[in-house]
Amino acid sequence: MRAAKQVQAVIQELHIPHNNSKVSSTVTLSIVSTTIIPEALVKPQELIAKADSALYLSKSNGRNTISTVNL
Model pLDDT for residues 4-38, shown as the tens digit of each residue: 999 999 999 999 999 998 888 999 998 888 887 77
Q: Which residues, including other chains, have CB under 8 Å from residue 59's CB and lie 6 or more apart? A: 30, 65
In this model, does residue 40 exceed pLDDT 80?
Answer: no
Nearest partner of 51 among 66, 37, 29, judged by Cα: 66
Model confidence band, residue 52 (pLDDT cutoffs 50, 70, 90): confident
| Percent helix, percent strand, percent coil in the chain, to nearest 5 | 40, 15, 40
To the question of pTM greater than 0.85 for the whole model, the response is no
Helix (H) or strand (E) holding 54: helix 44-60
In this model, does residue 53 exceed pLDDT 80?
Answer: yes
The count of other CB atoms within 10 Å of the CB of residue 30 is 20
